[in-house]
A and B are shown apart, each in its own frame.
Chain A
Amino acid sequence: MRNILRKEMRLSASVLSYLFILFGLMFFVPGYPVLCGAFFVALGLFQSFQTAREANDIVFSALLPVAKSDIVKGKYLFVCLIESCAFLLMALAAVLRMTVFSQSAVYRGNALMNANFFALGMACVIFGLFNSIFVGGFFKTAYKFARPFVTFIIVCFLVIFIAEALHHVPGLDKLNAFGTDDLAMQLILLAAGIFIFLLLTVLSCRRACEQFERIDL
């Protein structure tokens, strides 16, 4: 798997996938829907799929001495790697906002979602949805990606809209906790987000392996 991951990183990937990791730092931006950062990271990954398709990457991979399922796993590994890097930046920003900048007026007066552990959990959900809807959808044909990406965009912004709206619902204001307020609940929500990410990714990877096995290249 290390070789196939190296192939993904050095041959298949678009440089934009690496650059767009920096959108994880959008968790620092006040007065902006921070989860859009996760969407832009996904957009960067989409660029790699586009570049790879133009470069006939799937056929090249099929000619390498690997099982067909390893080609799928290699793509998932690469995607998860980029998402993990972005998540680390988001986590860094969130922790700084929860500690050093917890009393900052510009963040306290922010009407939009606060960058806390709940937001991090929701970013994981968005990454999981990308893996499931887009990457899984791509491997139905190993060629067509417009429909899976448009579907992902719609679902992603629906999730962002819901996440942004939730803390305005009476009784759910704790979702927008500042600093280390309601830390236990925040951590549970983050764990739930990570669990959803893992579930969506593993299930879609398994299904993608089965589908790709049946595809004629």
Chain B
Amino acid sequence: MIIAEVQDLVKKYPSFELKSISFHLESGRITGFIGRNGAGKTTTIKSMLNMIHPDSGTIRYFGRPIAGNEADIKKRIGYSTGTVSWYPRKKIRDIVNIVKRFYDTWDEAAYRKYLDLFGIDEMKTPLELSEGMKVKVNLMLALAHRSDVLILDEPTSGLDPFSRNELLEVFNELRNHGVTVFFSTHIISDIEKCADDIVYISKGRIVAATPKADFIREYSEPGESLEDTMLRLEGGAVHA
């Protein structure tokens, strides 16, 4: 079942352009959104969250356009855009106490579980946390309200290898419970470990939006790792 759909998304900046981005997310699957820095991953994700106003195109969740249904749809989505960059001097506990009131589905037990799993001290302020811990706080907020879809912008960036593995395990666990996960990354090994589908963006254009196995079959050479495939593709061999 299609749970989220991006259709003909166009956003023009003076020096960059998203060119008719289209793809969809299937229920209960993990989709990795890959592309090098500046390819358009964050712009696409911000458009999906209605933080950026696209020039044209539609974004739908659960069959409904986000425009006009933003509040209802966002209650069913968990999202995180990088690290915690807000309220540096407020305690995590105080921020959470505000955030949880916005969600009818806030799961205090899940919140405590991720607090423990990620080793977060809720009495600390963002200013007192490392970059990796800030990423975890953002993830914890995204995970604690039992969302149907998780949209995460580079959630594994800044995490140590152990934390990355933990997070990928969490993704797998969520998938097993029917949650759809969409995460951008430029760490290809994360995709290899847990993604079912791949959306590959290059220079503002979607190159492929396909199951991982099909992607490997189409683009990888025998014995080549996915990382080597991406390096070769970005090197220009395919686009030339």
Contacts and interface: CB of A to CB of B under 8 A. Distances in A.
Nearest to B97: A10
B52 interface: yes
Given A56-B86, A63-B79, A63-B81, A214 B102 contact: no
B231 interface: no
Interface stretch (B67-75, B159-167, B168-176, B181-189): B67-75
B85 A6 contact: no
Nearest to B54: A216
Contacts of B99: 64
B53 A11 contact: no
Interface residues of A, number: 23
B50 interface: yes
Interface residues of B, number: 28
Contacts of A216: 46, 51-53
A142 to B, nearest CB: 11
A181 interface: no
| Interface of chain A, main secondary structure | helix
B88 interface: yes
B113 interface: no
B94 A11 contact: yes
Interface stretch (A66-74, A109-117, A158-166, A183-191): A66-74
B153 to A, nearest CB: 11
Interface in B59-112: 70-75, 77, 79, 81, 85-90, 94-95, 98-99, 101-103
B49 A59 contact: no
Interface of B: 46, 49-53, 70-75, 77, 79, 81, 85-90, 94-95, 98-99, 101-103
Interface of A: 3, 6-7, 10-11, 55-57, 59-60, 62-68, 70, 213-217
28 contacts: A3-B101, A3-B102, A6-B98, A6-B101, A7-B98, A10-B98, A11-B90, A55-B87, A56-B85, A56-B86, A56-B87, A57-B87, A59-B51, A59-B85, A62-B49, A62-B50, A63-B51, A63-B79, A64-B74, A64-B99, A65-B77, A65-B102, A67-B71, A68-B50, A68-B70, A70-B71, A216-B52, A216-B53
